[in-house]
Amino acid sequence: MQTSLQQLHEHYMQRAIALAKKGEYTTSPNPAVGCVLVKNGEIVGEGWHQKAGEGHAEVNALKQAGEKAKDAIAYVTLEPCSHFGRTPPCAQGLITAGVKHVVIGMQDPNPLVSGRGIAMLEEAGITTEVAVLEPAAKNLNPGFIKLMSTGRPFVRCKMAASLDGKTAMANGESKWITGTDARQDVQRYRAKSCAIISGADTVMIDDAKLNVRHSELGFVANDLKQDQIRQPVRVIIDSQNRLAPTLALFNQHSPIILVRTKLENEQQWPHFVKQIQVNAITIADNSSKADLNDLINKLAELGLNTLWVESGARLAGAFLAQGLVDELVLYQAPKLMGENTRGLFDIEGLAHLQDAISLDINDIRMIGADIKITATVNK
């Protein structure tokens, strides 16, 4: 059966998407992008965006193709940029190389630049086709897309529990509910995120470092050296100013943001630690907690577009109750922990069943012996 032109476009776009995924652990906060150059039915060049500040996918593909790029078809997962940043505009690079047609997975989500790269190509006489395998292209960069289109980051919340929904024994014991494969999956999510958000309780109880551990990345570690892994910013909500520099968190020399409702300078923090002040919300016992909505806005201003919430039931519940979670990632172990244990989420204000937070389950799969559920939170 003869292959249609649309099928060919989708075939090569699938290759571009696969290339883009090679950069998902290293490009943040830039989007992961892939590019394939095809001439006379042969791939003559391909590339992906490997790291922020370095060559974009189109630049790398054109470099590999050399003179063969002339009259080729370019397949790009994201609209080629049209402006000068840390690198020259990719649309101009495709024009200069003499490609004849550009197939694009999705338009740039930034309303200030969306369509300009396409217009630049067409003004130069290069034909374009947009929205080929668009859903798959969008799935590459949910954080980049959301920040560019709404000014807000994409928030994932992770929890791990037994099959009966318990996260810890009454004495606080929780290591390890899930197995090795699930913990490796969590490490990969950490590596893909701009920032990990947690609370002071989690840090103090577990003496948690909340960093990406190369040795626990599983198959990803086979493709990336340890120094290629970008450590996300660790954002710790410490409204009561309880953390001390002696904790293991501060032994890992990667950026830390301490979130306070009142700043204090009594501690001698390492050079990579920054304090930010957010608005305070008074709660029932007249104590205060951080305004999570204000925090999200401040992290957006820092360009952190993909946030990974990894915390206890109280903080996770607060994020859900305030409608700040876009995606829930839940790991459930084949264990039953019984009644005298701690639950998944502490969510205030749910008096009736109609108040329950509604989810759309997008995926259920086995991760080793554990169940992984990925769901969109309805708002």
SS3 category, 39: strand
Element (H or E) spanning 327, and its range? strand 327-333
Token look-up 């402006």 returns 83
SS3 category, 209: coil
How buried is 365 (Cβ within 10 angstroms: 0-12 exposed, 13-18 middle, 19+ buried)? exposed
Token look-up 């807000």 returns 152
Spatial contact of 9 and 21, defined as CB atoms under 8 Å apart: no
CA–CA separation, 288 vs 178, rounded Å? 33
Distance of CA 153 to the CA centre of its chain: 9
DSSP state of 273: E
Token look-up 């409204």 returns 239
- Residue 96 structure tokens: 């200069």
Phi and psi for 279 in degrees, rounded to 5? -65, 150
User: Which CA distances in Å does 258 have to 111, 198, 233, 242, 378?
Assistant: 32, 10, 10, 11, 30
Token look-up 């290293």 returns 26
Distance of CA 33 to the CA centre of its chain: 14
How buried is 62 (Cβ within 10 angstroms: 0-12 exposed, 13-18 middle, 19+ buried)? buried
- Residue 98 structure tokens: 């003499």
Q: For the chain, report the end-to-end CA distance as a whole number of angstroms.
A: 46
Name the active-site residue from 58, 67, 134, 173.
Answer: 58
CA–CA separation, 210 vs 352, rounded Å? 36
CA–CA separation, 379 vs 375, rounded Å? 13
Crossing angle for the helix pair 90-97 and 57-65, to the nearest 10 degrees: 20
Is residue 58 annotated as part of the catalytic site, yes or no? yes
Question: What positions carry a catalytic annotation?
Answer: 58
